[in-house]
Structure 1
């Protein structure tokens, strides 16, 4: 007699995210996933047809979360908004790297996966426009050095996301520390 279904779609996606972070896209497979869930492997197929669909759905869910938090940030104080955005991005820092693997998903295998990856791509565009708008405003208001090209400023800002938190301080405090260093620089003038 087989094991009965004992996990929800949400639990499936939570475990998928955890395993993707631990093993990467190439190291993730359905046998690994089913071994980390309580329930029959066949239950996975009640939700998703293949690896591509599960991973794409996981990426979409993470991006929906980021997009929801980012769109809730008020933009009247551009510097506060940028600091809050950094916190949002740091909360998904581990998964941020995996979103770069979206191009590896074979969208021809599944229209559902193709739709989810299209959503991820569109969300990236939305987030990029928000950041560009805030950085331009910050430059116009004199918060940023105008002699440094905006793409450089934005690139360094994004690199903050990959900075290891070796002190293991809570994300909001880590975000403020990184933002302060980014804004002020690390050297004396």
Structure 2
């Protein structure tokens, strides 16, 4: 009998993320996950009890990364901070697609999944609060127009994240281009 290969919790969560994005929550199952990881399917159960726990943990893992990066942003200059945040969000542009399936997770029999989803919700509120604070400061500093309602500015900003990179340029350059388009508009 061969030696049992294993994987780390991070590899498990990264593979889960990829598969949930490819197949959706409904198309994701533990057999599919085990087919994309070395070793036996039973190894998955060393980390998580069920599909709900794995997917909720994956969502938490991704938002923790974004939260850590966003928390490190220097907010001294609101516009510079917004530009840094756009780079972070473009780098994790699939976050909203992943979190879009959170409502499908049945947490009734999984306290761990419920806790992870509660964390995700709180982290989302923290990120939203940071953005709102920066947008308001930028408007107060007259760096953004006051005649455009804040929800419109934020909405367009968020839509930048989903703009396809048709030039296939590196994420930092793509993010910079999007930010310049957003801040300057398309007029000459």
TM-score, length of structure 2 as denominator length:
0.96
Q: Which residue of 2 aligns with 1:92?
A: 92
Give the Cα–Cα distance (whole angstroms) in 1 for the partners of residues 96 and 169 of structure 2. 19
Matched with 2:105 is: 105
Q: Distance in 2 between matches of 1:185 and 1:97?
A: 27
Equivalent residue runs for 1:27-176 within 5 Å: 27-176=27-176
For residues 54-105 of structure 1, give each alpha carbon's deviation from its aligned partner in whole angstroms, at most 9, with x where no partner exists.
0000110100000000000011110000000000011111233111211111
Structure 1: distance between partners of 2:44 and 2:118: 23
Deviations 1:26-60 (A, max 9, x none): 21111110000110001111110111100000110
Kept after mapping to 2: 8 A contact 1:52/1:109: no
Unaligned runs of 5+ residues in structure 1 are none
Alignment partner, residue 187 of structure 1: 187
For the residues of structure 2 that align with 1:103 and 1:3, how far apart are their CA atoms?
A: 39
Q: What CA distance in whole angstroms lies between the structure 2 residues aligned with 1:10 and 1:148?
A: 42
Take 2:47 and 2:152, find their aligned partners in 1: how far apart are those partners? 42
Runs of 4+ more than 3 Å apart: none
Counterparts of 1:97 and 1:161 in 2: how far apart (Å)?
11
For structure 2, the 5+ residue unaligned runs are: none
Report the CA distance between 1:112 and its aligned residue: 0.3
Give the structure with the larger helix fraction. 1
| Cα separation, 2, equivalents of 1:151 and 1:128 | 12
- Cα RMSD for the two superposed structures: 1.2
Deviations 1:136-159 (A, max 9, x none): 000011111111100010011001
